[in-house]
Structure formats: structure tokens, C-alpha cells
Amino acid sequence: MTETTTTKYGAAKVEHQGAISRFLEATEINTRLLGMLGALLIIWLGFHFYGEIFIGRGSFLTPRNLWNLSVQTSSIGIMSTGMVLVIITRNIDLSVGSMIGVIGMAMGLLQVEILPQYVGLGHWSIWILAVITGLVLGTVIGAFHGWLIAYRKIPAFIVTLGGLMVWRGMAFLSANGRTISPVDPTFALLGGGPYGAVGEVGSWIVGIVACVGVVWMLYSGRQASKRHDFKLKPMWAEIFIAVVGCGAIISSVLLVNAYPWPKGILKAYGRAHDIDMTGVFVSHGFAIPVLILLAVGIAMTFLMTRMRFGRYVYAIGGNPEAAALAGINTRWMTLKIFALMGMLTSISAVIASARLNSATNALGTLDELYVIAAAVIGGTSLTGGVGTIYGAILGALVMQSLLSGMVLIGFDSAIQRVVVGSVLVLAVWIDTVYNSRKN
Amino acid sequence: MSNTDKIPLIKMTDISIAFGGIKAVDHVDIDLFPGEVVAVLGHNGAGKSTLIKILSGAYKRDSGKIFVRGEEADINNPRDAKKYGIETIYQTLAVADNVDAAANLYLGREILTKIGTLDDTAMEAEARKVMGRLNPNFQRFKEPVSKLSGGQRQSVAIARAILFNARILVMDEPTAALGPQETEQVGELIHQLKKDGIGIFLISHDIHDVFDLADRIAVMKNGKMVGYANTKDVTKDEVLGMIILGKCPPAAIPGPGAMQEA
């Protein structure tokens, strides 16, 4: 029964469609995703050629810059995946930047001033205890926010606006405004840098595993559709997606492997290991924070598309009352969403403080605005119910591209803010126009 | 209907609930038998929707008892009600707009795979079966429900109820948002459900919507029960009198809310 009816439906629709929309329907590629990739491409090419023409040196599309861009995106990207859930359920979290400050300080104090007293300086367990403490603290703060919002019925805007001030103040109070530095050497690897990357072989392993994963996902999706006699995508569409996906993965591996360790690091490494490293080409490979971002992105996408939790998040966002009447415990869900946001914030706090090799009370200032902007540029609707994880990560990449691109061509921070602010408004406007035309 | 010798599917006795100082439902009794359609009528604000939300677990009653098949039921939330086979189709808040039909049918009761993930293909396959029975023209399984017409959304909501073998169905203004053809479809569906022995409460403020469908009517006014009547014993005008004035015709059984004869 399904067989005949679906084909009838498919055939009827195809007749009045052009080649492009037929292609999009067959491959099931989201037009919004295409739009974002297009915008990213324009931004990248624009900065590169602006540099080429006006400065005489295009430095945007170089392995070095793109590698740095990937590291800079990690912290905001990780938090934006959580912000998507918060915004989908019609809430907001303004406190994430300040939470980074207080969690970063807690982890810094723990590994620099407290733990060494008990286990000794440089003990192997220090970074693990610091990270675990950070994760627990972030989750608890997030859960507390969620509890106030869900069970005490204080609007999320107010709770997290309060949090924005309270946690920033606590970050200052925790060490009277001192900067805590340097952090544990193993902990510092989590922030990237030449040592905090997985190298050439490691990157190839990551790339190959990712390619196998892409092919396996396409295959198992096809098998599931076959089992239930659904309409299958044309084989060429599946192959096209596999080729594009694996191609993108392999290009990124080649890119991160094309960025060598700088001379100074080579020399230092040579001295430390008593070998002559002059002229040796050592690849950076994927930076650890980027791999953390990828892992978080995959886990969050899985959570949102394959698990009950994600289904409920969307349902609550679409119609909170219907969700409650369907038996979903919406309050408990809200608490869990904010706790998850807190946990992701603490992962970002680990990366941010590790990258800086210190904890300061100003760490993460204004991050909440960048995170919200990333989620919104990535297609998350502030009216609730709509948003994707990959969109938010791409949104973070767009924002970070703008910021670092403007640094490269010598725009100062005042202009950067003007541009980022304008892009945010523009992105939402384009989205509104696109949606109203689609309906 | 010879209901007297059977055990009612639902018996609600002495139900009361107040919001602030307002008694939205004031000591109301009502019952429902298998294969029977009972229309609960009344003005906006008469308390009919509130009464039914108590049955479906959306509101917690202040006092009174609910019996399902003769046994006292403990209904404190929507999940409890579903456990007793009570499914509710709400007028406006039936569906989560931004997810597709299958996701709506299974909202709160998703089919999971062995490793605990959502089994979307299985849910879509089941959804196609149920919707095929209900509305054979329905094909838009991949689109969010917000893209569907009123009738299609209503059929999603009804499918959602019968998918889980509801024994008691509560429909709040089931045809208010529908065109004539779709209204007819819902009518046919109700006849079919009756044959399966399902008891149905229809909630409406418009007697024309439900008069032909209902076996019995119960009329509420200002939170109180005006009276009950078999549909075949009364005329539409008499029922209107009950709704507007609270005046009980001779063929009806008066309740505590009936106008006292001077």
C-alpha cells in the first residue's frame, strides 16, 4: 500500500520542478545548510582576496589561519550546541560567559593552589580532578538555573541575567581578582597549541574513522528504509553525499597536516629530546579542542535526532502545552536542558583556560552574546521549536571567521563589533524572508 | 439505550474544582457506557472543558471520585489517564506543530530500538498504517504538522488517540475547525469507534455539531450540571433551553444546576 501511494506522490511532485530542486529533493540536502556554506565561502574568499589586493598578502586561506580558526571556534561552538536546546524550548541563557569565568577560576585554583598541596606539583591526576570538578560545578550551576526557571517560575532571562552578574562577581571574589597561572601542563594540552594536537598519523586515523562513519550511516539508513518499504533515495544521490562528505573530511585532514610546527617549537622540542630537529616537517594535525567540539557535535546531534530527549525538546518548543498533555514532564526537561548547558559551558571553560594557560576572572566575557548569535545565525528560531546542532556550529564558525578575518586585515575591535552585530541582524532578516517565502 | 444493567466505562461522582474563588466545576456527576457517545454541552465558561480536563489528568480535582469500569481510578496527570485507556483530543493544543505526524502520534510513547534510540522508521510505518485507515489521502508524513490543513491535523490527533487502543475517547470541539466534508469524516469515524465498543465524550458549545452524533447529552451551566437526556427524547430547542436558561424539559433528568420551578 505504502509503495504505490508514495511513488504516486513522488511522481506528481517531480513534474513541475526544475533540475536543481529535483537534485535537492533526491539528496535531501537542506537549502539552509547550503546557504550557510555559501555565506561561509563568501566570507573566506572575501577576506583572502581583500588581503591579497589591499595588503599585498592574502593570509586567510592558509593552513595556519584555518587551523587557528578551528581552535578559536571550539569554545563558542561547544556552548552554542547547548544554547540551541535552550532557545528551542523558548528560553535564553545569558550567564554562560560568566560561568566560564567562575568555572575557569575554580579549576585554576584547584590545580595551581589546592591540589599540589596534597598530591604534589605536576602529579598526573591533577588535570583529571580539575576537569571533573569543572564539569560537576558547571552542571550544578546549570541545574540550579534550571530549577529556578522550571520549578520557581522565574523567567529564564531574569535568572540568567542575575547569573551573568553573580558568577562574574564570584569569579573575581574567588581569588580577589588575581590571575592564576600557569595551569597543569597536561591540562594545557586541552586548549590546543602545537603539543595539543594529534599530529599527522592521528589526524589520518580520525579522518578515516569519520569517513567509515559517514558511509555506515548512509548504508544503515538505506537498510532501515528498505525494511519498511519506504521510498529510497536514488543510488546516485547516496553516492554523491558519500563522496562529498568523505571529500570534505579528507580535505580537512590534508589541511591540518599542511600546517607545520614553527621553528621555535621545533628547536625547543629538539633540545628537550636531544635530537636535531632543524628542517624537519612536523604536522600539527587536528587540535584537541577541535576534536572535543566534533565529539560534542556528534553526541548532541545524536541526542537531538535519535533520542527521546531531543524529540521532547523539539515538542516542548513547538507547543509546550501539547507536550505536557502528551505526558512529558516539561519542568524536569527544562532543568535537564539547563544542566546540560552548564556542563557544555564547563567544557568550554576547560578549553578557554587551557588555551590561555591561565585562569582569569575576565575569562569568557561577552561569550554569552557570541554563543546566542552563533545559534541564531545557525538558524535557531527565538520563537522556539526550530534549530539544529550543525547549524549552531556553522554559525559559530561564521562568527569566528568574521572576527579573525577582520583581525587579519587590520580592522580594530570597534569595527569588528559593528560588523558582527550587523551580520547577526542581517542573518535573522534573511531567515525571516526565506521562511515567509517558503510558506 | 439499556444502560442500567451494565457497568459504566467512566463514572465521575461529586467532582469539584475551584480556581481562586471561582467554582469552575461544582459537585458534578457524569457517566459513560461502552459504545456510547455522550455530548457535554454548555456555554463558554460553563465548566465542561474543565470537567473533561480533570478526567484526562490535565487538572487535579479538589474533590470527587473517578471510577473506570467500576473501579476507583487514581488520575493525577495525563500519563495516569492514558494508563486507564483515556485518550483526549484537544481542540487547539492537540499537536506539537514543529514535528512530523509520526512523531506526534508517538509523542510521549515513542518506539525505541534495542539500544534505546528512537525507531523513526518503525514509527513512520505504524503511522502510515493508522493514517491509511483514517484518512487514505494523507501522504505528508515527512512534514511538520504546522504545514497541514485543519482537517489533517485533526486526523493526526484522532489517529494519535486510537493508535494506543483507547477505550475512552474525549473530543473537545472535534469539528469546530473543520469543513463540511471533514466534519462528515469525523462523524463516520465516531460511528466506527462506537462499533468497537469505545465510549466517547464530545465537548461542544454548539448543539448542531453534536446532536446527530450523540446518544445522550449532559448540559452544564455555571459549573453545575443542569440535566441529562437521551437525544431521541428531546428536541434541539429544548436542549437550547437547557444551555441558555438551565430549564429542564420533562423528558430530561434534572441535575443540581437546573432552574427551580417557581
Cβ atoms < 10 Å from Cβ of A249 = 18
Instruction: Indicate the SS3 state at residue B262.
Output: coil
Q: What residues of chain B lie within 8 A of the CB of A326, using their CB? A: 78, 96, 107-108
More confident residue, B224 or A277: B224
* Gap between the terminal Cα atoms of chain A: 30
Chain-chain contact of B99 with A311 (C-beta, under 8 angstroms): yes
For the ranges A112-121, A329-338, B88-97, B169-178, the lowest mean pLDDT is seen at B88-97
The pLDDT assigned to B22 comes to 87
Q: What residues of chain A lie within 8 A of the CB of B96, using their CB? A: 314-316, 318-319, 322-323, 326, 385
Specify the amino acid at residue B78: P
Query: Considering the domain boundaries, does residue A220 fall inside one?
Result: no
The span from the CA of B55 to the CA of B80, in Å, is 10
> Which string of DSSP letters, residue by residue, matches B51-100?
HHHHHTTSS--SEEEEEETTEEE---SHHHHHHTTEEEE-SSSSS-TTSB
Residues of chain A with pLDDT under 70: 1-17, 438-439
Query: Considering the domain boundaries, does residue A425 fall inside one?
Result: yes
Does residue B24 surpass a pLDDT of 80? Answer: yes
Chain-chain contact of A321 with B93 (C-beta, under 8 angstroms): yes
Nine-digit cell at A359? Answer: 585562569
Chain-chain contact of A311 with B103 (C-beta, under 8 angstroms): yes
Q: At what angle do helices A288-306 and A63-88 cross, to 10 degrees?
A: 30
Chain-chain contact of A308 with B79 (C-beta, under 8 angstroms): no
**Is B107:B155 a contact under the CB 8 Å cutoff?**
no
Chain-chain contact of A322 with B95 (C-beta, under 8 angstroms): yes
**Is A409:A419 a contact under the CB 8 Å cutoff?**
no
**Is A351:A402 a contact under the CB 8 Å cutoff?**
no
The pLDDT assigned to B261 comes to 57
Does residue B12 surpass a pLDDT of 80? Answer: yes
Most B CBs within 10 A among A311, A380, A438, hence the mutation to make, goes to A311
Closest residue by Cα to residue B148 from B209, B186, B96 = B96
Q: State how far residue B99 is from chain A, nearest Cα, in angstroms.
A: 7
Instruction: Indicate the SS3 state at residue B17.
Output: strand
The pLDDT assigned to A392 comes to 96
Q: Which H or E run contains B239?
A: helix B236-245
Query: Considering the domain boundaries, does residue A301 fall inside one?
Result: yes
User: Closest to B78 (Cβ–Cβ): which among A5, A316, A326?
Assistant: A326
Chain-chain contact of B93 with A328 (C-beta, under 8 angstroms): no
The span from the CA of A411 to the CA of A160, in Å, is 32
Most B CBs within 10 A among A308, A314, A331, A388, hence the mutation to make, goes to A308
SS3 of chain A: the string is CHHHHHHHHHHHHHCCCCHHHHHHHHHCCCHHHHHHHHHHHHHHHHHHHHHHHHHCCCCCCCHHHHHHHHHHHHHHHHHHHHHHHHHHCCCCCCCHHHHHHHHHHHHHHHHHHHHHHHHCCCCCCHHHHHHHHHHHHHHHHHHHHHHHHHCCCCCHHHHHHHHHHHHHHHHHHHCCCCCECCCCHHHHHCCCCCCCECHHHHHHHHHHHHHHHHHHHHHHHHHHHHHCCCCCCCHHHHHHHHHHHHHHHHHHHHHHHCCECCHHHHHHHHHHHCCCCCCCCCECCCEHHHHHHHHHHHHHHHHHHHCHHHHHHHHHHHCHHHHHHCCCCHHHHHHHHHHHHHHHHHHHHHHHHHHHCCECCCCCCCHHHHHHHHHHHCCCCCCCCCCCHHHHHHHHHHHHHHHHHHHHCCCCHHHHHHHHHHHHHHHHHHHHHHHHHHC
Q: What residues of chain B lie within 8 A of the CB of A325, using their CB? A: 56, 58, 78, 88, 90, 93
Instruction: Tell me the pTM.
Output: 0.86
Query: Considering the domain boundaries, does residue A325 fall inside one?
Result: yes
Q: State how far residue B3 is from chain A, nearest Cα, in angstroms.
A: 31
- β-pairing, B216-221 with B224-230? antiparallel
User: Closest to B96 (Cβ–Cβ): which among A2, A322, A386?
Assistant: A322
The pLDDT assigned to A14 comes to 44
Chain-chain contact of B96 with A323 (C-beta, under 8 angstroms): yes
Most A CBs within 10 A among B121, B123, B145, B160, hence the mutation to make, goes to B121
The pLDDT assigned to A4 comes to 39
- Which residue in chain B has the smallest CA separation from A319? B96
Chain-chain contact of B124 with A228 (C-beta, under 8 angstroms): yes
Query: Considering the domain boundaries, does residue A223 fall inside one?
Result: no
Tens digit of each residue's pLDDT (9 = 90 or more) over B43-78: 888 888 899 889 988 899 999 999 999 899 988 888
Chain-chain contact of B96 with A324 (C-beta, under 8 angstroms): no
Chain-chain contact of A315 with B118 (C-beta, under 8 angstroms): no
- Which residue in chain B has the smallest CA separation from A381? B98
- Which residue in chain B has the smallest CA separation from A6? B139
B 45-104 residues with CB < 8 A to A: 56, 58, 77-79, 82, 88, 90, 93-99, 103
The pLDDT assigned to B5 comes to 58
B 184-243 residues with CB < 8 A to A: none
Q: What is the separation of C-alpha A16 from the centre of its chain, rounded to a whole number of angstroms?
A: 39
Chain-chain contact of B118 with A318 (C-beta, under 8 angstroms): no
The span from the CA of B110 to the CA of B245, in Å, is 47
Instruction: Indicate the SS3 state at residue B185.
Output: helix
- Which residue in chain B has the smallest CA separation from A316? B96
Phi-psi region of B71 (alpha: psi -120 to 50; beta: other; left: phi over 0): beta
Q: What residues of chain A lie within 8 A of the CB of B77, using their CB? A: 327
The pLDDT assigned to A274 comes to 87
Cβ atoms < 10 Å from Cβ of A195 = 15
CATH number at residue A388: 1.10.3470
Is the minimum CB–CB distance between B245 and chain A shorter than 8 Å?
Answer: no
Most B CBs within 10 A among A220, A305, A306, A438, hence the mutation to make, goes to A306
Query: Considering the domain boundaries, does residue A158 fall inside one?
Result: yes
Asked if this assembly's ipTM is beyond 0.95, the reply is no
Q: What residues of chain A lie within 8 A of the CB of B82, using their CB? A: 327
CB pairs under 8 A between A and B: 89
The span from the CA of A410 to the CA of A397, in Å, is 20
The span from the CA of B85 to the CA of B82, in Å, is 5
Q: What residues of chain A lie within 8 A of the CB of B132, using their CB? A: 1-2
The pLDDT assigned to A438 comes to 67
The pLDDT assigned to B94 comes to 65
Q: How many domains does chain A have?
A: 1
Q: Which H or E run contains B204?
A: strand B199-204
Q: Which residues contact A361 (CB under 8 A, 6 or more apart)?
A: A101, A105, A168, A171, A172, A174, A175, A177
Does residue B253 surpass a pLDDT of 60? Answer: yes
The span from the CA of A180 to the CA of A106, in Å, is 10
User: Closest to B79 (Cβ–Cβ): which among A318, A319, A327?
Assistant: A327
Q: What residues of chain B lie within 8 A of the CB of A327, using their CB? A: 77-79, 82, 108-109
User: Closest to A307 (Cβ–Cβ): which among B78, B118, B146?
Assistant: B118
The pLDDT assigned to B79 comes to 85
The span from the CA of B76 to the CA of B81, in Å, is 8
**Is A351:A190 a contact under the CB 8 Å cutoff?**
yes
Residue with cell 569519520: A210
Assigned fold of B10-85+166-254: Rossmann fold (3.40.50)
User: Closest to B96 (Cβ–Cβ): which among A227, A229, A319?
Assistant: A319
For residue A146, what are the domain limits?
Answer: 29-195+287-434
Which residues partner with A197 through β-bridges?
A287
Q: Which residues contact A131 (CB under 8 A, 6 or more apart)?
A: A107, A187, A190, A350
Most B CBs within 10 A among A30, A84, A227, A228, hence the mutation to make, goes to A228
The pLDDT assigned to A315 comes to 94
The span from the CA of B50 to the CA of B184, in Å, is 27
The pLDDT assigned to A16 comes to 55
* Gap between the terminal Cα atoms of chain B: 33
Which residues partner with B13 through β-bridges?
B65
